[in-house]
Amino acid sequence: MASIPLGGDQLTRVTFDSARVLRSGTHSRTERFDQLSPVIEELFHVQQDLLEKIIKTFYIPETAREEGSLAQYRAILHRTNVNGQVKANGYESHKDFLITVTRALVIELACERWGADCKTDLGSLVPEEVKTSNTKGKKQWLQEQVTKVVDTLFCPYSAPKDAKIYLRRSGHLYCVTVPSKDVGKTIDLIINGEAVRIRVPEDCKTDEAEDGVFSYSLGIVRVAMDFIMFNDAIKSGDIDMITILMKRFIPLFIGLSSYKSKYAIECVNFLTKTECLLSDFESARVKLGLLVNRKGRPGKNKLADMEQENNIRLVKHVIRGLGAGKSDKAMLRISKAAPVISAMVNGLEGSKTHKDRHSRKSISEDISRLGDAIRKIRPFNYQKGRQMNPFKKISSNVIGAVNKDKLKDFIIRHSSRAVNKLAFDDNED
């Protein structure tokens, strides 16, 4: 009997897995739901929750006066629909805002690394010998310049630096340098021949956090680039890149929240089932089933659960238009007609027979306006002493700040649970 993969949100996946475990002792495959396997977390909820975690971590409405904060960028762009409530019909507005800010910050990082005063000066930095060289020489020069920016964002994560702590003993203040390997541990120190046992706090200050604006801005760009690449991978239908990013999302969700993050668990569950338990054919079949393309055009893929959410919202809107006292038969009839009505409305709005009363903001104009404000702040010009107190606990490297040993235990524990829930399928076979 062929298996039928199922998808849903986190609650649906957990509920159905639990139901299959409860029925694992029944006598037939139908009663055990063996043909309904695997149950995979749909990606739109992962995408939405990641955006919510990024906004909650880096956006505080009361920090509009903090230079370089997302709240200040929101005020500059007049994005009144950005309020921190991503899951309350605010996904698209927050997504557009984050992508706009990230693009402006990447341009500023390029200007800083290449020594340009503004974006328009980038063309003047090309040497004359490069302009007259062959294609190979131009590509080599361009790669060297781009590497300066890419290394800042995606260079290998360095080990944390040694920490400095201050102790007061017998009326004297001592500054002690503690190796990075002892941070978060209890150690013994010798001060003036006297043994002192102390516990080094995990959030003790190091040299990396001396420029709060630099650390905060770099942290935004790093996590937002993962989110943007995930969007691009979905649109292009690149299932291999989706798998790679799902691996990165495990420590990213943990770093943005905690080890209790349910979507970090869902990423482990997704990878365990698609990469370990299924064959290559079934894995590709499940991953491609997460995407839909209504238009059939390249680069126009959408997540299946996002399309379903839009359909449900459309049907509810059409039913709401019936007013009070509507019958079940009327709701059934209008629900069947909802896609046709939507297509007619979209066709009317897409025609050029009427004029739009409201004009859309140009993303290039927003990036240009935001770029001028960011250039005055110069967030990527390291300046010792700049502070952003509301965000002082945020690391510039969210993924690198996750404890690797704890992360390994987390992955092993939850992947084992995913395997155990499907163990009775293998025993039956």
What does the pLDDT look like over 118-158, one tens digit per residue?
777 777 778 888 888 898 888 998 898 888 888 888 775 44
Mean pLDDT (the chain, rounded): 84
As a whole number of angstroms, the distance between CA 128 and CA 131 comes to 5
Q: What is the pLDDT of residue 203?
A: 59
Highest mean pLDDT, choosing among 49-63, 180-194, 205-219, 353-367: 49-63
The answer on pLDDT for 74 being more than 90 is yes
As a whole number of angstroms, the distance between CA 258 and CA 78 comes to 32
Percent of the chain surpassing pLDDT 90 = 37
As a whole number of angstroms, the distance between CA 289 and CA 275 comes to 15
Q: What are phi and psi of 38, to 5 degrees?
A: -90, 170
Alpha helices (H) along 40-185: 43-58, 70-77, 91-114, 128-131, 135-154
As a whole number of angstroms, the distance between CA 253 and CA 267 comes to 9
Confidence band, pLDDT 50/70/90 cuts, at residue 306: confident
356: phi > 0 → left, psi -120 to 50 → alpha, else beta; which? beta
Q: How many CB atoms lie within 10 A of CB 238?
A: 16
Cross-strand pairs, 167: 174
pTM of this structure: 0.79
State the amino acid at position 259 in one-letter form. Answer: Y
Q: What is the pLDDT of residue 125?
A: 79
* Cβ density class 114-129: b for 16+ within 10 Å, e for less: eebeebeebeeeeeee
